[in-house]
Chains A and B, each alone.
Chain A
Amino acid sequence: MQTSATTDTMRPPYPAESGAGVYSNKLGMWVFLASDVMFFTALIGSYVILRFGMTEPWAKPGAVLNVPLTGINTFLLICSSVSMVKAYAAIADGKKYFLRKVAGQTLQDGGLKFWLLITIICGAGFVGVQVFEYIKLVGHGFTPTGYREGSVLAEHALADPVKYGAGVAGMYGSTFFTMTGFHGFHVTCGVVSMLYLYFTKVLPEKYSPQDYRGIEVIGLYWHFVDLVWIILFTIVYLI
C-alpha cells in the first residue's frame, strides 16, 4: 500500500485502559462493534441458509432490485467513509477550520468542520436514496411478504417465475427488508450522532489534537457501517 510521508499520533494522548491499551470510550466502541459483528452474522447467516437451502430459485440479480442506483449509493457510503477518516486526520493535525486557502493552489485545504459535514451529507444521502428505493420497490409490489397481488412485479413473476423467484418471493422480501432495514437504521443512528457531535463539539471547536476521542469513536462506528454494507451489497444485490 502506497503511503504518504505524513506522520501522526494515532491515539489521542489520553489515559488508556491498561488491558487493551486504549482509552475506555474506544474500547467500549470496539466491544460494541464485536457484538454487532455477531448481530449482522446472524442476519447474513440466516439469509445464506434460507437462500441456498431452498429448492426453488431465488430472483435473479437485478430482476427486482435497482442495482445501478444501489451501486451509486454504495459509492456514496464509501465516499463518506473517506471523508470521515479525513476528518479524523484533520483534527489529529489540529485543523479545526472549515476550509483554508493554500498558497499557490486552487483547491482549499479542508479541516474537521468541512470533512465531517461532507460525511453527514453523504450519510444522509445514503439514507435518502434507501428510502426512495423502498418507496419504489413497495410501489412496484415488492413487500416484506413477497409480491403484492395485482402489482407489476406479481404479473412479471407469473410470466417468468424463474427470473423473479416467484416460489420464494415471501422469503426474499422478508430477508431483504430485514437486512437492509437494520443496516439503514445503523446509518441513521450514525448520521444523528454525527449531527449531535457537529453542533455540540465540532462547531464550538471543543476538539483539539490533544483530545479528539469523539471523532475517533464515531469514526470507528461509521467505518463499520460501511464495511457491513460492502458485504450486504455483494450478497443481496449482486449474487
Chain B
Amino acid sequence: MTTPQPATTHVRPNYMLIWLYLFVMTIAEVLLAFELPVSQNIKLILLLFLAVWKALLVALYFMHLKFERWRLRLIFIVPLPLAAILITVVIMEKVF
C-alpha cells in the first residue's frame, strides 16, 4: 500500500566541507599510526574513534540519515547492537 509522500525541505549540508573533514581525518589517522609517539592502547582508541567519527559523517550527511525519519534510521541502527552481541558472545566463548 502506498501513500502520497509529503515534500520535505531542509538545509543541504556543505558536502565539500565534509569531504575536507574526511580528508584531514584520514591524514591524521595515518600520521597517528606511524608518526605519533604514544602508547599502543591510546593509539588504538584514537584510531577507532577517528574511524567511527568518519563513518558517522558519511552515514549522517552523505547517506542523509540525519534528515530521515526515525522509522528509517531504525533499520540501520537495529543491526548494530546485534553486531555487538555477536562479537561479545564469540569473545566470551574464546575467553571462557
Contacts and interface: CB of A to CB of B under 8 A. Distances in A.
A13 B9 CA distance: 12
Given A18-B2, A239-B47, A231 B75 contact: no
A37 B67 contact: no
Tell me whether chain B's interface is mostly helix, strand or loop, or mixed: helix
Interface string A70-91: 0100110011011011100100
Interface string B43-65: 11001101100110011011110
A71 B11 contact: no
Given A13-B5, A234-B51, A3 B23 contact: no
A193 interface: no
A38 B79 contact: yes
A104 interface: no
Interface string A45-72: 1101100010000000110000110010
B3 interface: yes
Contact of B12 (A4, A21, A231): A4
B87 A48 contact: yes
Interface string B1-32: 11111011111111111110011001101101
Contact of B10 (A8, A30, A75, A226): A8
A9 B18 CA distance: 20
A74 B19 CA distance: 12
Contacts of B42: none
A45 B58 contact: no
Interface string B63-77: 110011101100110
Nearest to A15: B2
A147 B48 CA distance: 28
Given A3-B13, A234-B48, A15 B8 contact: no
Contacts of A53: 94
17 contacts: A1-B61, A2-B14, A4-B12, A4-B13, A6-B12, A8-B10, A9-B9, A10-B8, A10-B10, A16-B3, A27-B72, A53-B94, A67-B34, A81-B19, A82-B15, A223-B63, A238-B47
Interface of A: 1-11, 13-24, 27, 30-31, 33-35, 37-38, 41-42, 45-46, 48-49, 53, 61-62, 67-68, 71, 74-75, 78-79, 81-82, 84-86, 89, 219-220, 223-224, 226-227, 230-231, 233-235, 238-239
Given A34-B75, A67-B34, 16 more contacts: A3-B11, A8-B12, A10-B68, A13-B5, A14-B5, A18-B3, A21-B5, A21-B71, A22-B5, A27-B75, A37-B79, A41-B87, A53-B94, A67-B30, A74-B26, A231-B51
Interface of B: 1-5, 7-19, 22-23, 26-27, 29-30, 32-34, 43-44, 47-48, 50-51, 54-55, 58-59, 61-64, 67-69, 71-72, 75-76, 78-80, 82-83, 86-87, 90-91, 94
